[in-house]
């Protein structure tokens, strides 16, 4: 199977042993992994350094939402570990996104992505926190804000990739979590999930796939299904 760097496998585990076991099983079939807060907290930054040291790219999904100085410090720490992508919450506003972008300038390989609206959220969830907009409207609003702040791209669901590509143009990254196998279940991303084929056809630059691969009896075969379904 040809390694397609556009497909990122999410290491959504609660400990280092299971994450490393999966990376070993997948072998050369993938060299791009996502580490989120749960695994980073459980395993520590050494796992990021080890994966990078083996030639992998690491998407450090921190979803930073803090005062600008703290966000900048966390971005610099991510860059020092060798991460290639790091996320900030676009809902935090221009200040934290601009601080993240400025901090990332020290690390030419590091890309700052702005999380728009998490894939599990619906319009009623936005209403609960006082946002009078549909998810589509809020995603677009935050994506424009992220572009103005200098972010390298955005994180959004597969269903929004097309309109985001139209609005942002050809250069920014559009990274889409919530990717499922054809005919598969959406799981925790149920509100706004989609297939890799749909995401790439709409203009996504990368897709993130988690449990459909990581919990599969044969992760390599599952990863192949994701890529074949995407035309990759």
Residues whose CB falls within 8 Å of the CB of residue 114, separated by 6 or more in sequence, listed in order? 87, 88, 89, 90, 97, 142, 143, 145, 146, 149, 151, 153, 154, 155
> So which residues are the catalytic ones?
63
CA distance 232 to 217: 22
CA distance 103 to 32: 23
Residues whose CB falls within 8 Å of the CB of residue 15, separated by 6 or more in sequence, listed in order? 39, 42, 43
DSSP string, 139-152: HHHHHHHHHHHT-S
Residue 215: other Cβ atoms inside 10 A = 12
Residue 204 has, within 13 A of its CA and on its CB side, a CA count of 29
SS3 at position 213: helix
Closest Cα partner for 172 from 161, 180, 183?
161
DSSP state of 10: E
CA distance 35 to 14: 11
Provide the CA 185 distance to its chain's centre, in angstroms: 19
SS3 at position 127: helix
């Amino acid at each position: 199977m040809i390694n397609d760097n556009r497909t990122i496998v999410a290491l959504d585990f609660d400990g280092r042993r299971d994450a490393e076991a999966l990376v070993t099983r997948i072998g050369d079939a993938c060299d791009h992994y996502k580490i989120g807060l749960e695994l980073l907290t459980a395993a520590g930054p050494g796992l990021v350094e080890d994966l990078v040291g083996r030639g992998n790219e690491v998407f450090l999904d921190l979803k930073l939402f803090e005062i600008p100085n703290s966000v900048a410090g966390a971005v610099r720490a991510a860059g020092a570990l060798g991460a290639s992508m790091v996320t900030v919450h676009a809902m935090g506003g221009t200040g934290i996104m601009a601080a993240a972008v400025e901090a990332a300038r020290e690390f030419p390989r590091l890309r700052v992505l702005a999380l728009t609206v998490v894939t599990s959220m619906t319009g009623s969830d936005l209403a609960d926190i006082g946002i009078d907009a549909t998810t589509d409207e809020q995603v677009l609003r935050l994506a424009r804000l992220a572009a103005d702040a200098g972010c390298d791209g955005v994180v959004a669901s597969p269903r929004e990739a097309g309109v985001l590509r139209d609005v942002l143009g050809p250069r920014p990254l559009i990274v889409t979590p919530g990717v499922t196998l054809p005919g598969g279940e959406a799981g925790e991303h149920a509100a706004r999930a989609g297939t890799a084929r749909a995401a790439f056809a709409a203009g996504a630059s990368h897709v993130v796939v988690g449990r459909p691969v990581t919990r599969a009896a044969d992760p390599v075969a599952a990863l192949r299904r994701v890529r074949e379904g995407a035309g990759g």
